[in-house]
Every structure is written in C-alpha cells, then in structure tokens.
Structure 1
Amino acid sequence: VDDQELIRFGFRRGLEAEDDRVVIGEAADGHAAIAQAAALRPDLVLMDIRMPGLDGIAATAAIVREHPETRVLVLTTFDLDEYAFGAIRAGASGFLLKDAQRHEMISAIRAVHRGDAALAPRVTRMLLEHVTPRLGSAAAVPGSPAEPAPPTEDPTTGLTDRERDVFLEIARGLTNAEIAQVLFVSESTVKTHVGRILAKLGARDRIHLVILAHRLGLVDDDALPSDS
C-alpha cells in the first residue's frame, strides 16, 4: 500500500523474486487498502503511512480490527517518524524503512509472518521511548483502537516459570530462534510458549509484549541487545 506507483512497483519486483512470497494485491490509499484486505485476506500488508485520503494509521487500525489474522508491516521514510509509531499503536507488527535493502525487506516480512517482530534493538528503544509515555494517555491516534489503561497489577503472575523466561527474552528483543538458543530448547517449543503467553496476557503480538514488560518495569533498556 503506497500512493507512489514506482514504490509499489519496486517492492512488488523484490517480493516476486522470492519463491515463498506471492503478491496478491496493491492499493494507493487507506480506503483501497481496507477494501483489498477484506477481499483478498492477505497474510501480511506492507503499509505506507503518509497518503492522501485515508492515511496508513487509520487503515492499519481498521485492518487489524476487522482481520486480526492479517499482519501489517509499516513502511516509513525515517525510523523516528512519529506517524510510524502511531501505526504501531494502531496494531502494526513492525517497521520497514523504505530505503531498506532487498534482503532486509524479505527478512522483515518473514519475521512478522512467523510471529516475530520486525524491530531491531535500536528501533525497539525508540518505540519504547515514543510509545510508552503515550499508552493510556488521553491523546488518541485518529482511527486507532483505544489504548488499555496502565495495569494496576502484574498480569504475568499467571505465567509458568518457563513462559515468564520466554516473555522476558521477548522483551529484550530476541527472536524465537535466539530465545531457543538462550534457553536451550527447540524453536517449536518457544513458538508454543509464545502463543500461550499472548493468550494469557491478551496481547496481539510481540510488540505489545515488549511494551507491557517495560511498563511493568520487568526489563530495562540496558537489557536490550545492541545492533552491532
């Protein structure tokens, strides 16, 4: 989804070169994106933010609300784009910079599709810095769902010890594969734990788990791994 045809063309060409990816539709604005998502039920949507008519924030919120099985990966020009953080609050599952290399784009798409978050540790820090102070505030993002009030008690008390271990590693920004290495378990076991954690905590995806962990003070920013 992008109002610039050449941008859409470039992303389509890059994706169609992959045997395990199929591009099933395009849209030039938020209204068309919502209609296409309803008609085609894609696994994942690449969503631009700044578009005429209905922007990507409102479109993301609508798609996530109506089709929770569809993931949205935000396209943004700058990693500090406030609009992109608004899309995360609306339910997007990650960032992708428009100047990303082809392998970075494919990696981000695969990460979101398998349930990981497409957020490098540096971006995770920025997400927490920008989003956490706004969660539960009166300032709502147009078209986005209402944010939950700050938790009055620790909702993670219902997690098992192993689920809590996995939860904390997610909060540090680790992928399923990295968590499996740290905890000496299989990746499929980690995936099972992640599913149970999401269900128990009522979180849509890993990004919201990261935000929750930091809001509860369970992990500090120094715990995030570096990009280097």
Structure 2
Amino acid sequence: MTIRVLVVDDQYLIRAGIVGLLEATDGMTVVGEAGDGDEAVAQAAGLRPDVILMDIRMPRMNGIDAARRILADAAEGAGPPPRILMLTTFDLDEYVYRALRAGASGFILKDTGPKRLLAAVAAVAGGDALFAPSVTRRLVEAFTRTSEPGEPVEPGARRPEIAQLTARETEVLRLAGTGRSNAEIAERLFISEATVKTHLNRTMAKLDLNSRAQMVVLAYETGLVAPGGSPRTP
C-alpha cells in the first residue's frame, strides 16, 4: 500500500527537498504541495492524503490552525482523517504543544536525517506515536501548565469524560501517558498488545481524541500522569 503525502511548507527549498525524498522512496508518493495553511486546508479536502507534513510557522494561516481545520473537516466526512506530522525548527517550539492539542499525530525537526524522516512518515501513517517517550515527556512537561498563552491548566482538573472509562481503560491511558509503547503496556498489565490497542481505541472514541499524542497530553492535563512521567494513582 502506498502512503499518500501532502507536503506543506512556506520555504520552497525545504519543501522541494522533502518532496524529492518522498518521491524517490518506494511505497510513498506526494499527492500535493502547499505553501501556507489556507492552501493546505483546500488541498487536504480535495486530495485526502494519508499523511500531511505540516510546517508550524507560515504566513496567512499557520500550521496549527490548518491542522485543526483539516481534522474538523475530516471528522464530518466518511473516510479516516489524515495523520498530521508537524515540522518545526526547535524540539521545544512553544507551538508544538498546541499542535498536539489540535490533533497532530506528532512532530519532527526540519534538520532530521532522510532515514528518520521516512521512518516517521511510515510510523504516523500506521497510527503509531512518532516520538520517543523521553521526548514526549519533556515536551508535555514544558507546556502542560499552559494550554494557551496566559491560560493556566489546573493540575488534576479532570475532564468529566474520564469518568466514562473503565478501570482498565484508565490504567492503559495512564501508562500511555508516560510514553510507553503498546508492547510495554501489555507486558506491564499481563495482557496482549491487541487488547491494549482495543482499550486505546475505545478510550480515544469515548474522549473524542484523534491521536495518541492527544492522549499523552490529556493524561498530563487531567493529573493521571505527574510531571516527570510517573503515573499517579487515582
């Protein structure tokens, strides 16, 4: 199966380099290019890519607003939403956390090597979390106290939807929030990876989440995971 990718970046040389790399890779094809968020929203609706490589800082509409619009439009359609992989210059860019809350599946640095970029696209297309647990924790801890500039998040301020989860779903969410993989969660709880995936899918449906990254953010914001990446007991 070929992964269909939309590349969005306002810098032509960077965009062209990514496009060339993807087109030269078996199993991947570039279905479109865009130079800003407005173009990205329009092309995503018409082309229905599997993965969108989205720059964060762009003129007209930035990548965060574009990601939010694209995922909202996709939710109203019949097909699955695209996986959005944010492109950023700094690994602790203040906008990255907001991008995850908007529904992006992860982020990758613009200076990432070709092999890692291709692996990231493949991982995101397959529904996996992009970044390593240590990066996830460092990112979320840096911004978990501020959902928007000047808007503090109260520690332990749980969303009412959390009450919908079963005890097992809550435990799986807590462990996913620490950045553990499905295999690690399965080993910890003495269940199969397939069962872990089922719990994660049900949790995402109940809490109206689009990605594993959003689950990690939610686990921190609701107090299921304490700063430092350790699970809290309810």
Normalised by the length of structure 1, the TM-score is: 0.81
After superposition, the CA RMSD in angstroms is 2.7
* Equivalent position SS for 1:52: coil
In structure 2, C-alpha distance between the alignment counterparts of 1:136 and 1:52, rounded to whole Å: 20
The superposition leaves residues 49-83 of structure 1 with CA deviations (integer Å, 9 ceiling, x where unpaired) of 12222221221121121124122110001112113
> Percent same amino acid among aligned pairs?
49
In structure 2, C-alpha distance between the alignment counterparts of 1:105 and 1:27, rounded to whole Å: 19
Conserved in 2, the CA contact under 8 Å of 1:89 and 1:131?
A: no
Paired residue for 1:96, among 75, 94, 108? 108
Shift of 1:99: 0.8
AA aligned opposite 1:86: R
In structure 2, C-alpha distance between the alignment counterparts of 1:82 and 1:109, rounded to whole Å: 23
Going from structure 1 to structure 2, the CA distance change for 1:216 and 1:55 (only over 3 Å counts) comes to: closer
Shift of 1:137: 7.5
In structure 2, runs of 5+ residues without a counterpart are: 1-7, 76-80
Going from structure 1 to structure 2, the CA distance change for 1:183 and 1:23 (only over 3 Å counts) comes to: farther
Going from structure 1 to structure 2, the CA distance change for 1:212 and 1:39 (only over 3 Å counts) comes to: same
Which residue number in structure 2 is paired with residue 27 of structure 1? 34
Which residue number in structure 2 is paired with residue 56 of structure 1? 63
In structure 1, C-alpha distance between the alignment counterparts of 2:208 and 2:60, rounded to whole Å: 32
Paired residue for 1:81, among 81, 90, 93? 93
Normalised by the length of structure 2, the TM-score is: 0.79
Paired residue for 1:129, among 141, 157, 173? 141
Shift of 1:89: 3.0
Give aligned pairs, total.
216
Going from structure 1 to structure 2, the CA distance change for 1:61 and 1:153 (only over 3 Å counts) comes to: closer
Going from structure 1 to structure 2, the CA distance change for 1:174 and 1:14 (only over 3 Å counts) comes to: farther
In structure 2, C-alpha distance between the alignment counterparts of 1:14 and 1:37, rounded to whole Å: 20
Which residue number in structure 2 is paired with residue 142 of structure 1? none
In structure 1, C-alpha distance between the alignment counterparts of 2:133 and 2:17, rounded to whole Å: 27
Is 1:5 aligned to 2:17, yes or no?
A: no
In structure 1, C-alpha distance between the alignment counterparts of 2:90 and 2:27, rounded to whole Å: 28
